[in-house]
Amino acid sequence: AVRRGSNGRKVFFNQVVAAYTGWCDVRNRDIASVVFGDGGAVDPAVVRDLVDFMASHAAAVPWRAGDFALVDNTVAYHSRQPFAGGVRRVYASMASGTKSVNPNAQDLVLTSGARMPGTGLGCWQIPRNAAAGVAHRALVEGYRLLDGAACYGNERELGAGLRRAVEEGIVAREEVFVTSKLWLTYHRKEHVRAACRRSLADWGVAYFDLYLIHFPISLRYVPFETRYPPGWVHDPAAPAPRMEADPVPLRETWEALEALVDEGLVRNIGVCNMGTAMLRDLLSYARIRPAVLQVEMHPYLPQQRLL
């Protein structure tokens, strides 16, 4: 049996129950949406038996306001019904067997020809006392990209987790794509190299696979010995703590990053949180084109105009 959608396309039986139970609207009229491959009707009792089976084997997951779910449709086909009585139902029919998650299934080829894993471990807000263990566990589970930053304040611990995995023979350093980011207070050319080397030392690696400008905003310099990572405000102890801008041309910062590539400290360079206008400006003079634009994207921030 297949499901026939409003656009005329047909999908096979793994989606039938989900479609029948969850997509009863103007496009999908319950049993009319479920047909045999030749267009013939399926006995409603057959589908309802399957629905009863799903109901008897249902798994209940707590659902709170603001929650959202990510479903891998190569494993579970799903549909949903509107909220009724404060409950939202999500129906899913499993594909045959289960699928092992391979974080490196879709590598991305960068402008340099380097391959970057399509899935990685984002390390923002991982507490310092947990970061080493989390990084190590991620590498054990198959992750091969660790995405860090100076401002996360946990690069030394992440490096310890990476080092442990290398020492245990789980990975070689060359198999792990390590990313770090230049913080806002180090945008002047005389500070870029020192900031990169500080992050390299914390990670305990000789080079970064990717080094990014974290934000297209430049702030007044804060020496390492004063505070590291420096954070957003220039002096947290001031009566009225505030950010203090230091207008550094993006070109100055980018050319300093290009010098890091020339020196072999980083393999690829890129930017974060940057819009189209600034990207066009950057591309007009970049000797080494940015390999990556990293932005936040999720159901609450889809970035439709940018992406």
Active centre residues (catalytic):
152
Q: Specify the 3-state DSSP secondary structure of 213.
A: strand
Contact 111, 289 (CB under 8 A): yes
> Alpha-carbon Rg of the chain, whole angstroms?
25
Angstrom distances, CA of residue 86 to CA of 49, 62, 82: 26, 12, 10
Number of continuous H segments (helices) and E segments (strands) in the chain: 7, 13
Q: What are phi and psi of 12, to 5 degrees?
A: -85, -175
Contacts of residue 179, Cβ cutoff 8 Å, sequence gap at least 6: 120, 145, 146, 147, 148, 208, 209, 210, 211, 212
296: left (phi over 0), alpha (psi -120 to 50) or beta: beta
Q: Angle at CA 228, nearest 5°, toward 233 and 295?
A: 70
Structure tokens at 301: 């921030």
> In whole angstroms, what is the distance from residue 280 CA to residue 37 CA?
50
Q: Angle at CA 201, nearest 5°, toward 230 and 157?
A: 75
Contacts of residue 291, Cβ cutoff 8 Å, sequence gap at least 6: 110, 111, 112, 114, 116, 210, 268, 269, 270
What is 235-284 written as a DSSP string? Answer: -TTSSS----B----HHHHHHHHHHHHHHTSBS-EEEES--HHHHHHHHH
